[in-house]
Structures are given as structure tokens and as C-alpha cells.
Amino acid sequence: MRIAIVYYSLEGNTKYAAEKIGETLSADIIPLIPVKAYPDGKVSKYFWGGKGAVFGETPKLEEYRFDRDRYDLVILGTPIWAGTFAPPLRTFIGDNNLTGGKIALFMSCSGGSTEKCAIQLEKEIGDCAVVSTLRLVDPLKSSQAAVDNSIMDFCEEIKRSL
């Protein structure tokens, strides 16, 4: 079984989760890197990232390798910005036909619900079977044991679905 993890991470939280999931599932990891980086200062991060998320922007991405036909499952990872997924994922989804495939989702946030983000992602990807979702609150600041346990449970659910 071949698995790809496609993710965007600004501050490393989503990257941490992607790497842990990748190790556990022996998956290919595909980071999405915008050509024009988002600022990471407190105010500018929220303004530019939030604006891009709310208005459905699709930033140009650095080149990456992805062939949907090579994978049995695609796992999408994103931080939550303004209640939704980060714009680089919108670009990726728009550039790649994921229809009919199996998908899993993981989201990093600072708190609150991830339900709205998951619903919006599912709508964006279209006709796919979402086999599992994972919500992580500040993975780099939280108890590593708790985060790793959540990731292990997520991976086990994925394995059962395949």
C-alpha cells in the first residue's frame, strides 16, 4: 500500500505531525512550499494568512512531485487559519484530481473546533472517501506523549480502512 502525505506548515506544527505519521505509515512526504512565503510575525501572520484563507487564494507553489495514480491513500495536513485550511492546500487540490480516492485529513490548531475546516476540506476535495480525521492542538507545545498517542490512533484507523 502506497501512501502520500501532502501538507503545508508555517510554524512546524503540521510538519511535526506529517513526519510522525510518515514514519509510522512508511509514507511519502510532500511539503507544499509557497513561492512567496507567508510572514511569520504575530500580526502579519494572522492578517496575510487569514486573508488568504478567507478569500480562497491559491498561491503559486514551488515545484513538487505527486502522481495520484501511485497512491492508495492521500493524507492532507494543514494548519487552521481563520477557521479553514491554509491556501497552499487549495492550490494543491485544484492542481490535482483526487476524485474517487481515499483521503485522510489532519489539522493543527491553537484550540477550538476543527469541524468547520474538515467540512470545508471534504467539500473542496469532492467525491472522495475520507477514512480518518485528526485534530491536533499545538503539537509542538503539547505533551509529546499525548500528541504521539493521537497520531498512533489516527494511523491505526487508517490501516484498518485500507
- What structural domains and CATH numbers belong to the chain? 3-161 (3.40.50.360)
Note the helical H segments in the chain: 13-25, 42-44, 50-54, 87-95, 115-125, 144-161
Contact yes or no for 136/105 (Cβ under 8 A) = no
Residue 81 three-state SS: strand
pLDDT at 56 over 80: no
- Percentage above 90 pLDDT, the chain: 55
Give the amino acid at 2.
Answer: R
Top-confidence residue, 73 or 162: 73
Contact yes or no for 117/107 (Cβ under 8 A) = yes
Q: Cell 485534530 belongs to which residue?
A: 135
Of the listed ranges 4-8, 51-55, 106-110, the least confidently predicted one is: 51-55
d(CA 59, CA 78): 15
Helix 87-95 to helix 115-125 angle, to the nearest 10 degrees? Answer: 20
The tally of CA atoms less than 13 A away on the side-chain side of residue 112 is: 13
What is the model's pLDDT at position 49? 57
pLDDT at 6 over 90: yes
